[in-house]
Amino acid sequence: MKRFLLERLQAWKHDTERKPLLLRGARQVGKSYLVNEFSRGFANCVELNFEMEPYLAEIFSDSLEPSRLVERISIAKNADLKSGETLLFLDEIQAAPQALTALRYFHEKMPGLHVIAAGSLIEFALEKTGLPVGRVSSLYLYPLSFREFLEAAGKEKLGACLDEHDLNKPLAEVLYRQLLDCFAQYMAVGGMPEAVNTWLINRDMKKVRRVHNDIIETYRQDFLKYAKKQQIHHVDKVFAAVPRLLGKKFVYAQVDQGLKSREIKPALDLLEMAQVAHRVRHSAGNGVPLEGQCNDSLFKVIFLDIGLSQALLGVNDGDWMLNMQRAVSNRGAVVEAFVGQEILAMSDPGVRRRLFYWVREKAHAKSEVDYLVEKNDRVIPVEVKSGSTGSLKSLKQFLLEKPEVQYGVHLSPANFGSYRNIRQIPLVAVWRLSD
């Protein structure tokens, strides 16, 4: 299936000033698959998987001189490594910290060799070894976006139609109905590549749910790799609580009455570091960068993938396709999480994107805008509605308080449209919100 990050990899390949590349993202979002697809453009690809073959870490044990490393890799893999012709792929590199350190020397002494490293728990290794500043580039990969799902489902023309559509005009009803059908499928399946592939081949949600459950179990097994023994129980409690608390202000006491905030916060930090969960932090929204006006104590949390979230909750996955309008109305928190997932997926992959929202917590006058997005040094407030209609009171309040903000975006199941300083964009075209 096509991943849009492939275009960035192609640009990196031909960049004369490229650096070794770290491909970062949660487990099973498709990092290895993407590199294998990309490798077809090379004469050969030499892969070292340090989890599958841990003894390969010994190659980096006593010398990080690139010429010596290449010689040893060539012998170990019985393959030639030639600059400009070979892709060297260091997979699950977190299991070989010295290999992470070696990336800087490939940049300095062997810049012609294309080197990509990937790993599901890279962030934990980087916390210990550090990232060679200025000598290594990063790209972040997330679950398939809805736009990528359309491509995978053979609906590339439908997606391309939305790419060029005038935001001020409704989309033709016949096209819109097709998009809603695809959207219902995506909301049930989510964006994990294996789950998407299973759905497209079998059209069987029971098989998709089995994939979801297998991935969830894999994530739980990972707790043993990055959490201390006394933390594993806390991490598991937070892991299970995040889908239940979607769309709500994250309150530590709501995770588990038996745990204290000093136990829950480090557990959430670990899950965020593993990119299994993402905080949505409050920002004053007075300008960019939003990070500079952030209140770290006030936040919501979304899970990595909406399909996995619903599997953890044990919800009836067939509702999306049986009655999409009812499912959207009943699962507003999942719809809101979908938008957050999309914002991450459509952001610049060279930078780890943070998510923000705005809230005013005044008695009898609470206002909340679901997301704030940066575009061209401006702030775009985004309100998500699970129904086609709504007062948009919070969005209007934000625009009233921030006259420098030119417009806001209303995302809902409704078709395209606009009124005053608010753009109506359908959920099926969420990637157009920053156009």
The CATH number covering residue 96 comes to 3.40.50.300
The answer on pLDDT for 416 being more than 90 is yes
Out of 140, 162, 183, a domain closes at 140
Q: How confident is the model at residue 78 (pLDDT cuts 50, 70, 90)?
A: very high
Res 389: pLDDT: 62
For residue 128, give the 3-state DSSP assignment: helix
Token pair for 355: 């998510």
Average pLDDT, rounded, for the chain: 94
Residue-range definition of the domain harbouring residue 86:
5-140
Res 285: pLDDT: 95
- Which amino acid is located at 284 in the chain? A
Q: Are residues 106 and 161 both part of a single domain?
A: no
Q: For residue 166, what are the β-bridge partners?
A: none
The answer on pLDDT for 418 being more than 90 is no
Burial class from Cβ neighbours inside 10 Å (0-12, 13-18, 19+) for residue 140 reads buried
pLDDT in tens, 257-300: 999 999 999 999 999 999 999 999 999 999 999 999 999 999 99
Query: Which among 190, 430, 147, 167 is positioned nearest to 313, based on CA atoms?
Result: 190
Q: Are residues 265 and 392 both part of a single domain?
A: yes
The answer on pLDDT for 141 being more than 90 is yes
The answer on pLDDT for 364 being more than 90 is no
pLDDT in tens, 346-363: 999 999 999 999 998 777
Q: Are residues 106 and 196 both part of a single domain?
A: no
Q: Are residues 422 and 319 both part of a single domain?
A: yes
Res 288: pLDDT: 94
Nearest-angstrom CA–CA distance, 82 and 78:
13
Residues 424/412, Cβ–Cβ less than 8 Å = yes
Query: Which among 111, 106, 104, 102 is positioned nearest to 135, based on CA atoms?
Result: 104
Q: Are residues 293 and 372 both part of a single domain?
A: yes
Out of 87, 120, 140, a domain closes at 140
The answer on pLDDT for 168 being more than 70 is yes
Q: Are residues 187 and 130 both part of a single domain?
A: no
Residues 119/125, Cβ–Cβ less than 8 Å = yes
Q: How confident is the model at residue 390 (pLDDT cuts 50, 70, 90)?
A: low
Out of 88, 114, 140, a domain closes at 140
% of the chain exceeding 90 in pLDDT? 87
The answer on pLDDT for 51 being more than 70 is yes
Buried b (16+ CB within 10 A) or exposed e, 107-123: beebbebbbbbbbbbbb
Token pair for 287: 């300008």
Residues 401/386, Cβ–Cβ less than 8 Å = no
Q: Are residues 50 and 131 both part of a single domain?
A: yes
Q: Are residues 11 and 109 both part of a single domain?
A: yes
Q: Are residues 117 and 170 both part of a single domain?
A: no
Res 330: pLDDT: 83
pLDDT: which is higher, 174 or 365: 174
Q: Are residues 77 and 121 both part of a single domain?
A: yes
Domains held by the chain: number: 2
pLDDT in tens, 175-231: 999 999 999 999 999 999 999 999 999 999 999 999 999 999 999 999 999 999 999
Q: How confident is the model at residue 134 (pLDDT cuts 50, 70, 90)?
A: confident
Q: Are residues 98 and 188 both part of a single domain?
A: no
Q: Are residues 126 and 74 both part of a single domain?
A: yes
User: Which residues, 6+ apart, have CB-to-CB distance to 311 below 8 Å?
Assistant: 209, 212, 213, 216, 317
